[in-house]
A and B are shown apart, each in its own frame.
Chain A
Amino acid sequence: MNAMIIRKSPSLRYSDVTPKQIYLSRRGFLAAGSVVLASPFTALADTKLTPASKSPLSTDEKITPLELATHYNNYYEFGTGKEDPGKNAPGKLERVRPWTVSVEGEISKPRTLDLDEVMKIAPLEERIYRHRCVERWSMVFPWIGFPLSALLKQFEPTGKAKYVAFQSYHDSKTELGSFAAGIDFPYVEGLRMDEAMHPLTLLVVGMYGETLPDQNGAPLRLAVPWKYGYKSIKSIVKIKFVEKEPPTTWNRAASNEYGFYSNVNPEVDHPRWSQAKERRLPDLLPRNTIKFNGYGDQVASLYTGMDLRKNH
């Protein structure tokens, strides 16, 4: 708040190039919504986040312009067009306070965490990750968050905990219904325990130096950079330790097209298109897709001996 008066950093912030409209629509809502003002989290809504550290796991590739990152999204709860979430989402998730995450399943003490508690689990860091969509476009996001493992380690899993299942927020009154979107809501995803515990798997609370915009999955999402984008579930409200491979939304919608693992793999085609290339937005020319989205050194060993075509 004092940043307006005391300008510590003379450099250009990401928000300086953010289209006014986003901010106006949020501010307008903040002004109108007493619910939001009453929330203890108000101070964090649409404010700067200062990550404690940069990460050696970051790529040095060019970061996608914020305008694109917030206006070209797949978030079917807010519309199936890529431009829809940027128009429909702002303000909708922000008003859901208090935001709680229920952690349950094969653990000794199930518990519901408030967003403030989640934010305090581990120091925030910035991770600049490649993000490869199954639709053959990619971006580079400066995420802010901490390893998901830090949260999972707070719970004592039973011997049966082999996978972690996630569930997104869904409100059929303010969001698109399952029928219109063509996929079941609430959106669900899952990871094998070793994938969930992997240091690259990030629990994200912000991007571009600020809290997450609603269209990017506010207030809490995953970034699993070696998998296709839909694995990085948005707006998480439930985390469940489970014994069996949990159902995942896109796999349920079309199991021949979207597998459980969904590792980025140029050698395994989507039935309707080749995955050999991708377009790094806003580039016009495509570039070659790299196996595991270029994170093979860190994650390939998780899949030793597995047939990645069968387990696509």
Chain B
Amino acid sequence: MVAFHTSTLTQLAAGLRQRKFSSVELTGACLARIEAHQGALNAFISVTREQALKEAASADRALAAGTGGALTGVPIAHKDLFCTQGVRTSCGSRMLDNFISPYDATVVARLRQAGAVMVGKTNMDEFAMGSSNETSYYGPVRNPWDPSLVPGGSSGGSAAAVAARLVAGATATDTGGSIRQPAALCGVTGMKPTYGRVSRYGMVAFASSLDQAGTLTASAADAALMLREMAGFDANDSTSVDRQVPDYVAALGEPLGGLKIGLLREFFEKGLDADNERRVREALRVYEGLGAKLTEVSLPHLPLSVPVYYVVAPAECSSNLSRFDGVRFGHRCENPRDLNDLYRRSRGEGFGAEVKRRIMTGTYVLSAGYYDAYYLKAQRVRSLINADFNRAFQSVDVLIGPTTPTPAFALGAKTSDPITMYLNDIYTIGANLAGLPAISVPCGFVRDLPVGLQIVGPHFSEARVLSVAHAFQQVTDWHSRIPGSYA
């Protein structure tokens, strides 16, 4: 009997190809594990048992015929904002509680094409707006390391599912840190590619100039395997970049020697937990031991990334979420008096508090008289932050620092003040504003909780970012630690 849950995505894909076990066997075990822990973690919004077993049987036939793809028969989960044909796509919102997607997102279609079996849709902050998974209409996700703590967000369900080894890999999205922050808080590997690298078609939009799809897995090697299948040009996404996708798996072995690592001075300033800093500095010494050279760099405008984000993201959100009108799909209020009442009550009832707060913030900063002062101003500062990154990448290959200021925090600890919650993403937002690829990998523990190390690279340097993360995981085992209750 193979211990499925302690195997990586890469190992499961290889085991299936070698016919060591069947996809039906593996998928069945995976579904049983998801169902056994759903009560404790609430990591899933929908479990697609019947469809998954059907897909698994078909994967087994492909494997028998020798026609399998890179992920044939491997169970994965999708964050519940990727449209999945015939399956509810709720976005963690009452607004879409009744929405059955009529089509597949490109990411979903490509992973299916590669043979992956979908076992369910993971819980998330409503419309991906949150850093703790507490804004979900379906209730919060619990952190597998300690159920009284949050898993991070917005991709908290995907991160918790991988941390508890309910699945070996899950899709996720990152608008301001929604892949990397939960990866750090749950002790898994979270990869956000360059803006435009992965198609956003069929991914419910939050902030269109920032949103990007990526992966949550147990290792960088697994992220490389998944991303290779997800990435690439898509005519259905007008911001998709037509550029060849390197073989990320083949590039993992790229030697580190002489790698120039930039330490972001601004990342080590006030607010960083002293123990988190210690773990990050220990990781940097590991890189030095592998032949990398460290230099300190400064991005003077980076401290403004959170205020820039909380103008740009709400502005784009208020515009994107105007499509939810109670007319064509989604929640509709009872007995509307007139059209305006229909709009107002459907939206007022369908959206949760954080989503409404962001829509209104966006509406305010875009309204007459304020546009120049807030939105245009934020876009100008965004230019300065982007220029800071460009300047840094002239002298270093990657930037490394912490992913989050602290380890996971308690449920309810940061819900009263939006700013306290927003500052969780202080180290991750920069990469979204500049559209850069970035990964978070586990780099140790503080008070028995995992801590994340963030690696940021220039545009389209996913292969380099993944190989830098992989090199660390070859000489450390933080990424293979599993929370006690799920070992």
A and B are partners in one complex rather than unrelated chains: no
